[in-house]
Every structure is written in C-alpha cells, then in structure tokens.
Structure 1
Amino acid sequence: MGFGFVVLLHLALIWALASGLGTKALEAVKGPIEAKIIDTPPEVKRDEPPPPPPPALDTPPPPFVPPPEITINVPQTPPPTAIKAVQSKVAAPSAPSLSPRADPNHPNRKPPYPPSSVRMGEEGTVVLLLYIRADGTVQEARIDKSSGFPKLDQSAAKYAVKAWRFLPAMSAGQAVAVWHKMAVTFRVDEVN
C-alpha cells in the first residue's frame, strides 16, 4: 500500500510537469517586471558656518643672525724652560741587557703534534713571536713565520701560552717584559 502511494505521487508530479502546470504556476507568482527612472532630488544646501579664519602667526625671525664680534687678548708667554731641562736629562730607554732564556727548573716541552697532521705527514718549522712577561710566563704568542700548515702553527702558539715558562729578560738588574722569537720544528719521525 505504501509502495502504491509513492508510485501514484510520482506519476502525478510527472504529469504536472509534462502538462506545463509548473510553468504556469511560476508565471502567476512571478508577475510582470516594471522599470521606472526616478529623478534624483536636487541637493539640499545646508546652512553651514564658514570655516574659521586662520590664526594670526608671529612674524618669523630673520634668516641669519650675525655672530657678535668678540676678541680675547691672551698674553703670549714662552713655554717654561724647566720642562726642557727635564727632557734633556731623560735618557732613551735602554734595551734589555739579557734576553729571556729557558728555565732549567721547568724545561719547556715540545708542543703536541696534532694527530691529523701526523696521519697526513705534515712537517715544518714555525717561528713564534712570544711576549714574555717580567714573571717569565708567556702572555701572547704570534706566528712570525708559518710552517705552511695551520694546525701545526696553532698547536705551537696555544701550547706556548699555556705551558711554557722562561727566566725573564733583565735590564739594569730588573726583570722586564719583552718580545722574543722562538722556532719549533715538527717532524713526523720524532713522534713517540
């Protein structure tokens, strides 16, 4: 019975569409469309107050004000002669009479040979420029002449600052800080 009702409903809808009943219903609902041109009303002018007048500004300053002429009279005095006398008595600093040397109580060992340099067979002599303090320690190590291999140069410079000690340079009986050159030779056949 339900199936028969559904079939009848579908047949009724198909008949309505086939006979044009659907288009007649749309035309009845839709109605004719009318278009009219509406004149725009003229703009209404409102009574607005006029804008306020610009504020009165002060007159600008002149573009250039000349500086006043000022003269100061300073008496010319000759430089004091006492300074010349002191300067003539001061002697030039003398060079250290004794250069730094190895400390026999703490002999300086050879820097470690970098393992990668041993494997690659890198050899050479690096000349270091060491700044040796008055207490005999190395404050700074610069590479004066490279061995040709950066790893060997860096190994020597770092080790010199870290571990080397010297008897300091002497000048007039006083320990002084000086720059000192030292060569380090790396040879693969000397590796333990």
Structure 2
Amino acid sequence: MSNSSSLSPQQTRTLRLSRNTVIVGGVLLFHGLGLWALQSGLLRRAVEVVVPAEILAEFITPAPPAPERPPVPPPPAPTPPVPTPPKPRPQPVERPRPAPAPQPLAINSPAPAVDNAPVVTAPAPAPVPAPQPAPAPPAPPAPPAPPAPPKMVQPSSTADYLNNAAPPYPAMSRRLGESGRVVVRVLIGPDGRAQEARIQRSSGFERLDQVALETARDRWRYKPGTRDGVAEAMWFNVPLNFVLE
C-alpha cells in the first residue's frame, strides 16, 4: 500500500497497462497453442485415446455372480452281495436190519390140576326201583275277589212324603214376562235338609234366580243320599222351571 500510494498517477497508469498487456498476451498464447495442437492432430489423438478407454471401462464392469448350485450328493455305495449259505450234503440213511426170528424153546408144562371146590353162585342183585317224580307244588290260592263297589243312591226332592210346593212366581217377573229354568246345586245333609246352596245355572233374570235359591235352600226337604244304605251328605242339582201360563 505504501508503494502504490507513493507512485504518481502516470506511473500507476503505466503499471496497469503493462499488467493488462501480460494478461492479453497470455490468453492469446493459450489460444494459439490450442489451434496449433488441433491442426497438428494432438487433440484428435487425445480424444481417440480417451474414448476407447471409456468403452473398455464399460465392458470391464464385473458380471453378477452366478447362482450357487446345490452340491450333488455322492452316489450311494453299492450294497455288498448277500452270501448264500451252502446247501447241506445229504447224509446216507442207514436201513434197519431185520431182527433174527426167535427159536422155539421146549417147555415141560405140568398138567392142570382139577379144582374140586364147590362153586358158589352169588345171588342176583335186587332190582333198583325207578325214581318217582317229585310231586307238583300246590297251585297258589286264587286272589280274593275285589270288593264290590259301594252302592250309592242319589238324593231326591220328588218323594211324595216331602210335600215340596212349587216356588212362588214373582209378581214383577210375571208382569214383565220373565221366564226360564234355574239349576240350584244343593249340599243335602243326612237329615234331608239343605246345608249349602248356590246357583249352578242362571235363568237370565235376577228375581227368578233369587226365588229358586231361597226355595231350594230354605223351604224344600229332601230324601238324603245313601252309601251302602247309610245316609251321608251329598251334592245334588235341583232344577226349577218358571213358566208363564
């Protein structure tokens, strides 16, 4: 900085011109060398040398590894032949020799002695009686006959000695033309009196039903029902008809 500041403007201008001249000269020299090399064939040779190198580089790329083949198993070992056992030699069969016939021997046998002992005959065994068949077991007794069902007689309200009068016809029902049949179910005791009573079948009119219930329960007497001749309490249906004449 001190040198440049001490120079005069004329010297500074001259220095700059010299620098530019050097730079321009260098550029021109570089271009001239390039033209000379092109004309002389140096650049073409360099291209020819470089291009095959690239092609070779492309062809020299390593090929992919080949797939590994599975190892081939070794062939099985040959089986040794099984030795056949030797056949047994037939043994000679010895035939049995016939035994010599025995020679007859002379034997002096004494004469048989005569037995003069009396002969005793054993009595014949008595005949064994045949076994008699076992007597048949006695037949079981017949089961007793079931008892006869008890004889039942239903109660009655129509006996002559009862003197049961017909129920009174309500005046209002007669005036309105009400009529019908009422069935009263009555529990009749052993004394022939009604113990309970209820409407079994209604006539459709309250007044007629009420008169029939009071008549069968409070006014009438009955012949009680019996079981084997003994009087007992039984239910009995008493019908009462209300008919307009």
| Higher CA-based Rg | 2
Q: TM-score, normalised by structure 2?
A: 0.37
Asked which structure has the greater RCO (Cα within 8 Å, sep 6+), the reply is 1
Normalising by structure 1, report the TM-score: 0.47
